[in-house]
């Protein structure tokens, strides 16, 4: 049943794509048809796989670092109300700056290698993870926390044994969002400056009017993002089920 729910929207999208190419008489360098793109996916599979592995490495590294830093930041802010009042406006302000505008700066600082792409990925997912986890930490079960205070529990022990376990769903929600946003950060970094990766390949194909290869790289990126989100979601569900036992 799950496969059928996925199959029908994909077939509808392909039919609409083919219909647009046919009815509007689109030339291949403007909008290639699905069969042409499928052929490119097969003939360029080694090239696409090589660049996809680079992007996947950047995404996974940025996701791990961003999630870890977001966890530490949220716990630190929850432990220190003064730090929360001081730093939360800065976190919000960081989201007011267009992320794409920061990509050239990160490239200047970290170079054209993988470092700038990891930094870009970390930057784009840090706020959702930190914000979701911090908000959950600040809404602990009232009865549990009051009982722990009556029993003489220290703020650190209450945080570790009550507030963090209760806030785990909030952290996992932020992690699910991060799994979708992380590839965006990596590709933005590759667009600004890179020699490998799916974002770089898309720019290269576009500059050479190889629109079929550009669409193929875009489809690989979409599949990679969906697979990553699915894997993170399954991991989060497993953790939630274990927590409820």
Give the model's confidence band at 10: pLDDT under 50 very low, under 70 low, under 90 confident, else very high. Answer: confident
pLDDT tops 60 at residue 15:
yes
pLDDT tops 90 at residue 170:
no
Give the model's confidence band at 151: pLDDT under 50 very low, under 70 low, under 90 confident, else very high. Answer: low
Domains assigned to the chain: 34-244 (1.10.3720.10)
Q: Cα dihedral sign for 113, 116, 119, 121? A: negative
For 39-74, how does the pLDDT look when each residue is reduced to its tens digit (9 = 90+)?
999 999 999 999 999 999 999 999 999 999 999 988
Query: What predicted TM-score, i.e. pTM, was given to this entire model?
Result: 0.85
How far does Cα 235 stand from its chain's mean position?
15
Give the model's confidence band at 244: pLDDT under 50 very low, under 70 low, under 90 confident, else very high. Answer: low
Residue 197: name the closest of 23, 21, 62 by CA: 62
pLDDT of residue 183: 92
pLDDT tops 70 at residue 189:
yes
Could you give the percent of the chain with pLDDT greater than 90?
A: 25
pLDDT of residue 64: 93
The tokens for 66 are: 């961003």
Cα distances from 159 to residues 67, 76, 142, 167, in angstroms, run 19, 11, 13, 10
Q: What average pLDDT does range 183-206 have in this prediction? A: 89
The tokens for 110 are: 């970290």
For 96-148, how does the pLDDT look when each residue is reduced to its tens digit (9 = 90+)?
777 777 788 888 888 888 888 999 999 889 888 988 888 888 877 666 665 65
pLDDT tops 80 at residue 94:
no
DSSP string, the chain: -HHHHHHHHHHHHHHHHHHHHHHTT--TTTS--HHHHHHHHHHTHHHHHHHHHHHHHHHHHHHHHHHHHHHHHHHHHHH-HHHHHHHHHHHHHHHHS-HHHHHHHHHHHH-SSHHHHHHHHHHHHHHHHHHHHHHHHTS--HHHHHHHHHTT--HHHHIIIIIHHHHHHHHHHHHHHHHHHHHHHHHHHHHHS-SSSHHHHHHHHHHTT-HHHHHHHHHHHHHHHHHHHHHHHHHHHHHHHHHH-
């Amino acid at each position: 049943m799950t496969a059928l729910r996925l199959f029908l929207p994909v077939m509808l999208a392909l039919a609409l794509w083919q219909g647009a190419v046919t009815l509007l008489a689109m030339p291949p360098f403007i909008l290639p048809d699905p069969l042409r793109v499928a052929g490119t996916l097969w003939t360029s599979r080694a090239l696409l796989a090589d660049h996809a592995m680079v992007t996947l490495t950047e995404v996974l590294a940025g996701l791990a670092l961003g999630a870890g830093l977001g966890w530490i930041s949220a716990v630190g802010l929850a432990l220190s109300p003064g730090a929360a009042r001081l730093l939360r406006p800065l976190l919000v302000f960081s989201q007011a700056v267009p992320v794409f505008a920061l990509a050239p700066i990160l490239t200047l600082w970290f170079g054209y290698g993988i470092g700038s792409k990891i930094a870009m990925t970390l930057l784009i997912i840090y706020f959702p993870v930190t914000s979701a986890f911090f908000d959950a930490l600040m809404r602990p079960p009232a009865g549990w926390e009051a009982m722990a205070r009556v029993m003489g529990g220290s703020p650190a022990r209450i945080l570790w044994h009550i507030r963090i376990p209760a806030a785990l769903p909030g952290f996992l929600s932020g992690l699910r969002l991060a799994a979708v946003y992380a590839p965006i950060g990596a590709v933005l970094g590759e667009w600004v400056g890179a020699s490998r990766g799916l974002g770089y390949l898309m720019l290269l194909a576009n500059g050479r009017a190889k629109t079929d290869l550009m669409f193929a790289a875009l489809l690989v990126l979409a599949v990679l993002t969906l697979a990553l989100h699915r894997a993170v979601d399954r991991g989060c569900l497993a953790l939630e089920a274990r927590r409820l036992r």
